[in-house]
Amino acid sequence: MKSLRVVLMSAIVMMSGLLVNAQTADEIIAKHVAAIGGKDAIKAIKTVYVEYDMEVQGQVGQGVSYLVTGKGYRNEVDFGGQKLIQVFTDKGGWAINPFVGQTSAEPLPEEELKGNKGNLSPGGPLVDYAAIGGKVELAGTENVNGVAAHKLKLTIPEGPTVTYLIDPNTFYILKQINTRSFQGSQVDVTSTFSDYKKNESGLVSPGSTEVEFPGFSFSIKPKKAEYNKEIDPKIFEMQK
């Protein structure tokens, strides 16, 4: 009887510890937002300009991206003189992809546009997910290179489901999995982030990103970033 009492007391102590340490999805998100700079620093960023290298199957392309918070995002990457351009705005989007034979701008398919409003924030969709109609659930933990990462699932109306795996020590995002519709099928796009650094804006962002599609992958390494510089909104208008 005494041994049973000891076991029960130990179990109660363990349970109390688990209950004290249990965190809600919103508490984890709040710690993540604080870790990457805090809401005030994020909201102070009106524009972001980034130059980067993209490596695909051993070939390196030169890329540049422009973000005007809440308004538009433009990404360009040049491989050997062929430039791929993709633009999302709060109203639509378009692209020029010479690698599939496009020689002029074409509107992006509706399935690619859905759920992209959250990507018009420099801190990402989690920062203010409720404002874009999103819902987040805590789905336990998942092992990422030996770390029991918090697993959050974000759903956006008519958009993709995004799974975030967040380091419980740093509260940085280790992995992000976008599950979206592509040509009639559900496809997972997995981004793995590392080498986080703080920049002059106060924002902490990854210095390296590995992106995996089914049967295809590439890496991105930023070289230069500028914040709150003047960006002409005309760059988001579809080229004729």
CA–CA dist 79, 10 (Å, integer) = 62
Q: Are 118 and 129 in contact (CB under 8 A)?
A: yes
Q: Does 6 reside within a domain?
A: no
CA nearest to 50, candidates 98, 124, 122, 108: 122
Taking 3-state DSSP, the helix, strand and coil percentages for the chain, each rounded to the nearest 5, stand at: 25, 45, 30
Q: Does 189 reside within a domain?
A: yes
Q: Give the tokens for residue 110.
A: 């509706």
Q: Does 7 reside within a domain?
A: no
Q: What is the pLDDT, as a whole number, of residue 170?
A: 97
Q: What is the pLDDT, as a whole number, of residue 13?
A: 38
CA angle 51, 144, 209 (to 5 degrees): 10
Q: Which residues of the chain have pLDDT under 50?
A: 1-2, 4-21
Q: Does 123 reside within a domain?
A: yes
CA–CA dist 24, 17 (Å, integer) = 15
Q: Does 222 reside within a domain?
A: yes
Q: For residue 149, what are the domain limits? A: 34-236
pTM for the full predicted model: 0.85
Radius of gyration of the chain (CA): 21
If you write DSSP's letter for every residue of the chain in order, what string do you get?
-HHHHHHHHHHHHHHHHHHHH---HHHHHHHHHHHTT-HHHHHT--EEEEEEEEEETTEEEEEEEEEETTTEEEEEEEETTEEEEEEEESS-EEEE-GGGT--S-EEPPHHHHTT-GGGGSTT-GGGGGGGGT-EEEEEEEEEETTEEEEEEEEE-TTS-EEEEEE-TTT--EEEEEEEEEETTEEEEEEEEEEEEEE-TTS-EEEEEEEEEETTEEEEEEEEEEEES----GGGGSPP-
Q: Where residue 93 sits, what CATH number does that domain have? A: 2.50.20.10
Q: Does 1 reside within a domain?
A: no
* Domain count for the chain: 1
Q: What is the pLDDT, as a whole number, of residue 183?
A: 66
**How many C-beta neighbours within 10 Å does residue 212 have?**
15
Q: Does 21 reside within a domain?
A: no
Q: What is the pLDDT, as a whole number, of residue 117?
A: 65
Q: Does 4 reside within a domain?
A: no
